[in-house]
Amino acid sequence: MALFRCLSRMLRARAALIALCGAVLLGFCPISVMATPTGDYYKEGGEIFDDWDICRTRADGRDGFLKYVAGRFEPVIVAESLGANAERAYARGIQFGVQYDDVTQRAEAIFAYARDRVRYTSDSSQFGHAEFAQNADELLAVVDQDGFAYGDCEDYAFLLGAMYVGAGIRSAIVLGPDHAAALVYLPDYPRANRFLRVNGETGWIWAEATGGTNPLGWMPESYMRVPLDAYELEDSGSPPAALPDKPTTTVPRRGGEGFSLPVSPYLLILFVLWLLSSLGRRRSASRR
């Protein structure tokens, strides 16, 4: 999701304000990304749509990429990489399925693949839009070309979800406050810090790949106490429609050499807050 929304809930504490200022400064640093256009789209009403008539710059509404309506959602953008639309991400999942007979090892390998080859970057930094969702095949095309790609939390989730389905592992997309992640059905996974229930069925674990060292099954504590919505993915997808009789447009990725965050800004802020709290406790103890 857009970076400023992901951080807005942290404004109440003085330490969080300091961390926010640092994250904002980092957000203005140039990043090194592809300078080539991504796909063909069309504009309507100030928004950008693809040839499935899915809005890439808005998650809500019946045509939004998450089809978020009245508190319910359907990650329709993932269907662009499943079923009849299966391409790179699905095929990559199949490859992992052939390579790893053990489901747990397969799930961990897919998670590590996405975590290590996508670097967290806000949509505004990469595309110049507060929100711009990439489907799994678009993101993986950049990985195949450059060895890595850039994306934000929902881009990670969509890639993981499509790859897991291709690998024959049940997966879901989960939404928290201003955040998206993937879930994986591994009811016997020994390293999960929390098991979740989806549609009345327990055994789902969190797949948070936005940090460079995150393990599979690690669920941030901040999302253990808030309402979550999840949608299990199905291996089906509708074919794209023809682009309307309107001029097409491209969405360029910003180029340039410079700095890139190795982890999600959200995780960076959690670390800074922990560090400040630890220093405060040490100073308090030294005065006694």
Asked if residue 178 belongs to a domain, the reply is: no
Q: Longest C-alpha distance within the chain, in Å?
A: 75
The residues, any chain, with a CB within 8 Å of residue 93's CB and separated by 6 or more, are 110, 162, 163, 164, 165, 166, 167, 168, 169
Asked if residue 212 belongs to a domain, the reply is: no
Asked if residue 187 belongs to a domain, the reply is: no
Asked if residue 255 belongs to a domain, the reply is: yes
This prediction's pTM: 0.76
End-to-end Cα separation, the chain, in angstroms: 44
Asked if residue 139 belongs to a domain, the reply is: yes
Q: Number of structural domains, the chain?
A: 1
Asked if residue 281 belongs to a domain, the reply is: yes
- Give the C-alpha distances (Å, rounded to integers) separating 26 from 5, 106, 234: 16, 35, 38
Q: What is the rounded distance in angstroms from the CA atom of residue 184 to the CA atom of residue 206?
A: 7
List alpha helices for the chain, DSSP H: 3-8, 14-27, 88-99, 103-117, 123-127, 136-146, 153-166, 265-286
Q: What is the rounded distance in angstroms from the CA atom of residue 84 to the CA atom of residue 158?
A: 17
Residue span of the structural domain in which 32 resides: 3-169+249-286
Asked if residue 59 belongs to a domain, the reply is: yes
Cα dihedral angle (249, 255, 261, 267), rounded to 10 degrees? -10
Answer for the pair 129, 91: CB distance below 8 angstroms, yes or no.
no
Q: What is the rounded distance in angstroms from the CA atom of residue 3 to the CA atom of residue 8?
A: 9
Asked if residue 276 belongs to a domain, the reply is: yes
Q: What is the pLDDT along the chain (288 residues), one digit of tens a residue?
A: 543 344 344 333 443 443 344 443 333 333 333 334 456 799 999 999 999 999 999 999 999 999 999 989 999 999 999 999 999 999 999 999 999 999 999 999 999 999 999 999 999 999 999 999 999 999 999 999 999 999 999 999 999 999 999 999 999 999 999 999 999 999 999 999 999 999 999 999 999 999 888 999 999 999 999 999 999 999 998 778 776 677 788 888 875 333 444 444 444 544 455 455 555 545 544 445
